[in-house]
């Protein structure tokens, strides 16, 4: 009985956390304040990290693997990721806020795979960085300019920012980089901005950017986009200014009267890497 009450309390929680704003379904606090917890996958893709590697990734970025309790605390304020990752002490799981048929077996809560005996198994990672300065936001406006934290001053170390762009259904997002200066290294290991053509930082990876060369414009396939900015513990740079504007999706009639600027623009189609 208590379990049942708890279950309905959770449902109520979820109903509160998700909603429509400007015709867009989103969780307004999703990842904006994830209580220092963030999701990380290998540079080579999903489910590539052993326990030791996952631990190293988090420590490299100034934090450590999140405990189950830290992940649950983040989940309670809207942290929702559909990918299993290592937690502290060799536990594996993922946080589900919104139940769905394709993720979390239709349940909410931490989907817990338990403590793994085989630490060579490969999963993603959930890091906790108590010093990580959270930033970012959720935008639903038809256009917006957003900046790295502190811009035009240099951004700070140990920054974890997520920007979620959610425009009206039937519209696309055109990203344009106005200024860009992020600590440069060959594989963008230190500081980087990642762009995802999707609702989260799991699907639709578009590219990872660092250095001071202005990335090309990016146009989404759908009405959502996610940007993730991570900085490590040393060396900062000027930061960035990015503008997005919404565009109506081209009609499917095939008239071809699309006069959108060509050239330095990447029209995305599904999973498309432009690194
Ligand atoms: Ca740095």
Where exactly are the structural domains of the chain?
Answer: 37-128, 136-248
Q: What pLDDT, on a 0 to 100 scale, did the predictor assign at position 14? A: 38
* Choice among 63-67, 85-89, 201-205 with the minimum mean pLDDT: 201-205
Q: Is the pLDDT of residue 42 over 80?
A: no
Q: How far is the CA of 233 from the centre of ligand 1 (A)?
A: 6
Q: How far is the CA of 137 from the centre of ligand 1 (A)?
A: 21
Q: Is the pLDDT of residue 39 over 60?
A: yes
* Choice among 44-53, 126-135, 243-252 with the minimum mean pLDDT: 126-135
- For the segment 135-162, what is each residue's pLDDT rounded down to a tens digit? 777 788 899 999 999 899 999 988 888 8
Residue 96 in contact with residue 106, Cβ under 8 Å? Answer: no
Mean pLDDT for 121-148 is 86
Q: Is the pLDDT of residue 171 over 50?
A: yes
Q: How far is the CA of 66 from the centre of ligand 1 (A)?
A: 22
Q: How far is the CA of 232 from the centre of ligand 1 (A)?
A: 5
Q: Which residue has the higher pLDDT, 181 or 200?
A: 181
Q: How far is the CA of 250 from the centre of ligand 1 (A)?
A: 40
Q: How far is the CA of 194 from the centre of ligand 1 (A)?
A: 15
pTM of the model: 0.64
Instruction: State how far the alpha carbon of 117 is from the alpha carbons of 67, 87, 88, 90, 124, in Å.
Output: 17, 13, 13, 8, 16
CA distance 197 to 155: 24
Q: How far is the CA of 29 from the centre of ligand 1 (A)?
A: 26
Q: What pLDDT, on a 0 to 100 scale, did the predictor assign at position 194? A: 94
| pLDDT cut 90: percent of the chain above it | 45
Which residues make Cβ contacts (< 8 Å) with residue 159, sequence separation at least 6?
A: 132, 133, 135, 148, 149, 229, 230, 231
Q: What pLDDT, on a 0 to 100 scale, did the predictor assign at position 271? A: 33
Q: What pLDDT, on a 0 to 100 scale, did the predictor assign at position 60? A: 80
Instruction: State how far the alpha carbon of 119 is from the alpha carbons of 48, 81, 89, 91, 115, in Å.
Output: 12, 22, 10, 9, 9
Q: What is the mean pLDDT of the chain?
A: 80
For residue 133, which of 230, 238, 236, 200 has the smallest C-alpha distance?
230
Mean pLDDT for 77-105 is 87
Q: How far is the CA of 38 from the centre of ligand 1 (A)?
A: 18
Q: How far is the CA of 181 from the centre of ligand 1 (A)?
A: 11
């Amino acid at each position: 009985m208590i379990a049942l009450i708890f279950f309905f309390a959770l449902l109520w929680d979820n109903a509160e956390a998700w909603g429509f704003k400007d015709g867009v379904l989103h969780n307004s606090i999703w990842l904006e304040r994830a209580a220092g917890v963030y999701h990380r996958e290998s540079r080579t893709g999903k489910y590539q990290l052993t326990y030791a590697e996952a631990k190293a990734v988090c420590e490299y970025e100034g934090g450590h693997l999140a405990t189950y309790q830290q992940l649950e605390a983040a989940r309670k304020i809207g942290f929702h990721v559909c990918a299993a990752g290592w937690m502290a002490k060799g536990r594996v799981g993922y946080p589900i806020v919104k139940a769905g048929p394709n993720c979390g077996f239709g349940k909410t809560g931490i989907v817990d795979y338990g403590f793994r005996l085989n630490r060579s198994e490969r999963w993603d990672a959930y890091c906790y960085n108590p010093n990580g300065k959270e930033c970012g936001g959720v935008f639903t406006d038809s256009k917006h300019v957003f900046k790295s934290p502190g811009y035009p001053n240099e951004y700070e170390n140990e920054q974890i920012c997520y920007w979620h762009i959610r425009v009206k259904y039937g519209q696309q997002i055109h990203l344009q980089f106005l200024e860009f200066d992020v600590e440069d290294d060959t594989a963008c290991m230190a500081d980087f901005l990642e762009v995802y053509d999707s609702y989260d930082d799991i699907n639709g990876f578009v590219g990872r950017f660092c250095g001071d060369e202005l990335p090309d414009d990016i146009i989404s396939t759908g009405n959502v986009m996610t940007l993730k900015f991570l900085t490590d513990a040393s060396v900062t740079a000027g930061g960035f200014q990015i503008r997005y504007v919404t565009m109506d999706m081209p009609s499917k009639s095939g008239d071809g009267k699309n006069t959108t600027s060509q050239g330095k623009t990447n029209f995305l189609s599904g999973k498309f890497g432009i690194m």
